Amino acid sequence: MNVDPLALRRRLAGDPHRPIYHFTPPANWMNDPNGLIQWKGRYHLFYQHNPSEPVWGKIAWGHAVSDDLVHWQDLPIALWPDENGPDRDGCWSGYAVDHEGTPALLYTGLRAGEQRPCLATGDDELITWRKHPGNPVIAAPPDGLKLLGFRDHTLWREGDDWLQGIGSGIEGTGGTVLLYRSRDLREWEYLGPLTTGDGQTTGNMWECPDFFELDGRHVLVISPVSLRKAIYLVGTYSNRRFTPEAEGTVDFGGCLYAPLTMRDEQGRRLMWGWLWEGRDEQAQRAAGWAGVMSLPRVLQVEGDQLRAAPAPELEALRGEQRSWQHLPITDDAPLVLDLHGDAIELIARFDPASAAQCGLIVRCAPGGEEQTVIGYDNDSRQVFVDRTRSSLDPTVERDLRGGICQLGRDGLLTLRVFLDRSVIEVFANHTTCLASRIYPTRHDSQSVRLFARGGPAHLVSLDAWPMRSIWPDS
């Protein structure tokens, strides 16, 4: 592709729904993050990309690099489907590792419906990738199992061995991760399932498994197709079997899927997820692009739960801070602040007091014709994003999604909210994440308000920052 990606980005920059500080493809389609790796200090993000159309199709691996985890530079497409290869119909999701000083990708090649693991090795800048001539590196799924898929890879080192988990599902049983061992990433020996679900709460086919150790526990992140969301399992790993002991939802907003993690040089476990569109194919085609990457999230395990916080590096994008303190919020009379924007960060601390619900209204039109509510519901103890009135466009998704959130020991609720045009990411009390997509139609749907319902609440503090673009001169 000879098109200058920055020129493509500039062409789309005027689109009011196109995020300015979340990673997007230069144009056309993007889905899962792939092959996350820090190489020679630089963060590399690969992603599922259809460079020809703003809809899913024949998938290649897009590639971008960042020095600071915030600003990105587009690099040439890393993997293209090969006319005569096992990846003829697509280079699907995969993982990156450092194999004795050589960057290596394991990804799923698709040919005539068959999904097979393929290996590619890169140069020292990760620009040019050479596919292993012996691809696929595993000729067929293990015998004797009725599998619902054989795709997506997680890789880790144990002594001299590489261990690989492949996402799958056993018909009539549940989702599973099939475990393999290798010395050289080329020859693989099947060891059995790493773990298998019961087909109930964890669905029947697991995409994009990611297995890692964190804070003394083992974590398996999976994207069960039928659930249309990512979940995590925290548990114990021994004798090459993983025993889940707890289960949770990675993000409650209903828009984040296929997340992938990496361990960076600081030892942090970072996660990105694909934020899919909430609009139809016609709207995607009209826009010329589709798909957003979540902000990088730093993971921690606390007890049995996986916690995620926005990477601190994102603070570099903040403009001038504005603050409010101690504002009473009357029942059913939203407090209109002198605060507007569609690319802002907010940190709001509320005392829900005796209110049934309280929180923020964002992207609000002057008469409230369009508005998105981010709030806390005392009864259900859930933080929610209500996008039932986010847009006057009847074709976009509208719903209310929530997730359990513990208030702080002080009884307060902290909502950290990233608004970025059609993207909302909420981090509530360091316990609950919600990523959502909204498409307001009015240029004046920009105001921020505070609300309480079923009793008064109290705003302890609010800090707000306009956010800068992550792209040069766009």
Residues that bind ligand DQQ (CB under 6 A): 31-32, 48, 59, 92-93, 108, 151-152, 207-208, 257-258
User: What is the three-class DSSP state of 58?
Assistant: coil
Counts of helices then strands in the chain (DSSP H, E): 2, 34
Do the beta carbons of residue 221 and residue 230 sit within 8 Å?
yes
Output 271 or 428, the one with its CB closest to ligand DQQ. Answer: 271
The count of other CB atoms within 10 Å of the CB of residue 235 is 17
Burial 456-469 (b: 16+ CB within 10 A, else e): bbbbbebbbbbbeb
Which CB atom, from 55 or from 127, has the smaller least distance to ligand DQQ?
Answer: 55
- Residue that is written with structure tokens 């009539």 in the block: 172
| Structure tokens, 331 | 């029942």
Distance between terminal CA atoms of the chain?
A: 21
Between 63 and 307, name the residue whose CB sits nearer to ligand DQQ: 63
DSSP reduced 3-state for 268: coil
Closest-CA residue to 449 (of 351, 375, 352, 392): 375
415: left (phi over 0), alpha (psi -120 to 50) or beta: beta
Supply the minimum distance, in Å, between the C-beta of residue 130 and ligand DQQ: 21
125-130's contacts with Cβ under 8 Å and 24+ in sequence apart are: 126/37, 126/39, 126/44, 126/63, 126/65, 126/75, 126/78, 127/75, 127/76, 127/78, 129/78, 129/79, 129/105
The closest alpha carbon to 247, from 268, 269, 263, 229, belongs to 229
Closest alpha carbon to 191 in 173, 210, 169, 164: 164
Alpha helices in 194-342 (DSSP H): 281-287
d(CA 56, CA 28): 9
What's the min distance (Å) between Cβ of 359 and ligand DQQ? 31
Smallest distance, ligand DQQ to C-beta of residue 221, A: 13
Pick between residue 261 and residue 445 the one whose CB is nearest to ligand DQQ: 261
The Cα 461–Cα 36 span in angstroms is: 36
Query: At closest approach, how far in Å is the CB of 242 from ligand DQQ?
Result: 20
Beta-ladder partners of 107: 94, 118
State the minimum distance, in angstroms, from the CB of residue 48 to ligand DQQ.
4
Q: Which is nearer to ligand DQQ, 47 or 451 (CB)?
A: 47
Q: Least Å distance between CB 239 and ligand DQQ?
A: 28
Nearest approach in angstroms of CB 167 to ligand DQQ is 6
State CA 365 to chain mean position distance: 29
444 is catalytic: no
Smallest gap from residue 223 Cβ to ligand DQQ (A): 6
Q: Choose the catalytic residue: 32, 210, 342, 377.
A: 32
Closer to ligand DQQ by CB, 171 or 393: give it. 171
How many whole angstroms separate alpha carbon 12 and alpha carbon 67? 24
What DSSP string describes 79-120? Answer: E---TTSTTTTEEEEEEEEEETTEEEEEEEEEETTEEEEEEE
* Residue 293 Cα distances to 33, 59, 221, angstroms: 7, 17, 17
Residue 449 beta carbon to ligand DQQ: minimum distance, rounded to whole angstroms: 36
CB nearer to ligand DQQ: give 129 or 276.
276
Q: How far apart are CA 76 and CA 5, in angstroms?
A: 9
Q: In 3-state terms, what secondary structure has residue 9?
A: helix
Q: Which of residues 204 and 432 has its CB atom nearest to ligand DQQ in the complex?
A: 204
Smaller CB separation from ligand DQQ, 56 or 212 = 56
| Residue nearest ligand DQQ, Cβ-based | 92
Catalytic center residues: 32
